[in-house]
A = this chain, B = another copy of it.
């Protein structure tokens, strides 16, 4: 155990190094670091059970810096524990350095598990880690340092409610109540009792503390460790603490000190130090699961809704002990309930809290889980910031969005995903899939389990006919040409529901002597550029059909692929939803939108000479 003097020395060093690194960079957040220096000094010295030499050890406690702008403090801690050198610390915010402006997990920065910097995301992520530990009976804890400003984010309260509901007594939050946000006081300022009342009402054990009194902090952490529920240490702190001209002053958010100011501030903090910190070791070693069981995929000979095929495939994948599903209280619609039935301990209900769902997924995958979060595709828009940040976290996630497009019918536009393909294509490194039948869904969902980065499958509410047998392969980036001849005068490119409409249109056009090629573009990103280029060059006219707005979806993906191949030639027509739908039957709405078989056939007739 450290002494009060030890902890204060560590805190002073963390403060000094936060100033040194941000002044060297010429930007950053030293004052937001100073407020939490004592909190982290005590945590990393004596409470976080963590093997610095083996940061991915599953037995480790985990630390999430939700207030990611306090990155100078984070990296100063990593220097103090010997993870990085002082020289590396001073590359803060430089081009090419892993010591980035906000923490990012990189191969050379394995002590950072997840990217932060978009506020309010740390607690949902930490909750996911805590629940992953419980799934594997790992006796470790997750500690999450939040700023007070970020507690205004609703995602924090989604996680608060979910944490107590799921019994996450291994989760400890710390709120650095330094009273000042970017441009002025927070709503609650130093009203610690108000924070405590809120936490208590959400089922947490709150502990109020002076955030610069190391002995009190130590006691608070001990109390939190002993709580029978998630605990939150609510610490009254000063932004810029320890430096006379910074402490509790407005106008210093996100500003590095000049060299002269830094010199003065460092002197006030007692000058540079060279203290080493060794966190306590984790209690036990834990081995990751190494089971590689034989997955038997479902086989479909009949019509089925792809959302149902998704659920059944997920249930089949659950023989793998690392597969987890999370849902937003619609598991009987997305069919993640099929996994819940066979592996209830690996199904997590996030209730109607999609941001928390995505945050939990990021936390779980950081501990090795193969996570499938699912909800209506329209409601994934609720969590777009979390998806964006997950890509920066280099997270491996498998998203499922059901109820795509106007084809959901009567429920109307609020439940129709018409922007999900655009949203998911614009995620770095993403894979975007949209199968049209049961067997292709099964193959693609199985592939997702082993894909890196963020993959997304769009599924359909209605049943669709079986098109493929169960021996067919569906490589990521591939397509299927379902009709083709030398006489083809047009290529119809569909995916999911529109593939069936395109096939029916092709049959009716064929009856009139118009030969039509049909391509199933089940992999929208990456896309089968070669097949598309051949199709447009051979048939001269290519028509994309999608149950999605015309911006950013299948049509734009096809055009980008064609442009990427060199000179453009031929004609490409995008058929998509262009007006705001209302209620109606799926058939009425597809017809109204111009994406039904008859509307497609009419469009082709109008386009051919």
Contacts and interface: CB of A to CB of B under 8 A. Distances in A.
A384 B118 CA distance: 15
A226 interface: no
Contacts of A378: 118, 385, 388
A414 B418 CA distance: 26
Contact of A560 (B156, B385, B550): B550
A556 B426 CA distance: 11
A388 B392 contact: no
Interface in A61-112: 68, 93-98, 100-102, 104
- The size bracket of the interface on A is 35 or more
Contact of A149 (B197, B201, B351, B411): B351
B97 A583 contact: yes
A391 to B, nearest CB: 7
Interface string A142-169: 0000000110111111100110010000
Interface string A110-124: 000001111110000
Contacts of A567: 569-571
A181 interface: yes
Contacts of A389: 414
Given A95-B582, A117-B412, A563-B572, A154 B104 contact: no
Contacts of A571: 563, 566-568
A411 to B, nearest CB: 4
A551 B525 contact: yes
B556 A552 contact: yes
A157 B355 CA distance: 13
A425 B423 contact: no
A96 B591 CA distance: 13
Given A101-B583, A117-B415, A582-B95, A422 B552 contact: yes
A117 B560 contact: no
A352 interface: yes
A245 B500 CA distance: 40
Given A187-B351, A552-B551, A573-B563, A413 B104 contact: yes
A552 B414 contact: no
Contacts of A552: 422, 425-426, 551-552, 556
Interface string A396-435: 0000000000000011111100110011011111000000
Contact of A333 (B153, B182, B186, B388): B182
Interface string A238-253: 0000000000000000
Q: How many chain copies?
A: 2
Contacts of A428: 418, 549, 580
Interface in A550-586: 550-553, 555-557, 559-560, 562-564, 566-574, 580, 582-585
A410 B391 CA distance: 19
A547 interface: no
B101 A411 contact: yes
Contacts of A331: 183
A413 B67 CA distance: 15
Given A187-B161, A552-B552, A152 B352 contact: yes
Contacts of A411: 27, 101-102, 117
A330 B181 CA distance: 9
Nearest to A414: B117
A380 to B, nearest CB: 9
A539 to B, nearest CB: 13
A587 to B, nearest CB: 9
A332 interface: yes
A25 interface: yes
Interface in A158-195: 158, 161-162, 165, 181-183, 186-187, 194
Interface in A417-461: 418-419, 422-423, 425-429
A198 B588 CA distance: 45
Given A549-B428, A573-B563, A381 B391 contact: no
Nearest to A97: B583
Given A415-B117, A568-B569, A153 B149 contact: no
A379 interface: yes
B352 A181 contact: yes
Contacts of A549: 426, 428
A158 B149 contact: no
A583 B181 CA distance: 23
Q: Which 10 A-B pairs have the closest CB atoms?
A: A154-B154, A117-B414, A95-B584, A422-B426, A101-B412, A568-B568, A552-B552, A419-B426, A197-B201, A157-B157
Given A25-B410, A68-B414, 12 more contacts: A95-B584, A101-B583, A119-B352, A152-B329, A181-B351, A182-B330, A183-B331, A384-B384, A422-B422, A422-B551, A551-B552, A559-B559
24 contacts: A26-B410, A93-B412, A95-B584, A100-B412, A101-B414, A104-B582, A117-B413, A117-B415, A149-B329, A152-B161, A152-B353, A153-B154, A157-B157, A183-B329, A187-B351, A201-B201, A378-B385, A418-B428, A428-B549, A550-B560, A556-B560, A562-B568, A563-B572, A567-B570
Interface of A: 25-28, 68, 93-98, 100-102, 104, 115-120, 149-150, 152-158, 161-162, 165, 181-183, 186-187, 194, 197-198, 200-202, 329-333, 337, 351-356, 378-379, 381-382, 384-385, 388-389, 391-392, 410-415, 418-419, 422-423, 425-429, 525, 549-553, 555-557, 559-560, 562-564, 566-574, 580, 582-585, 588-589, 592
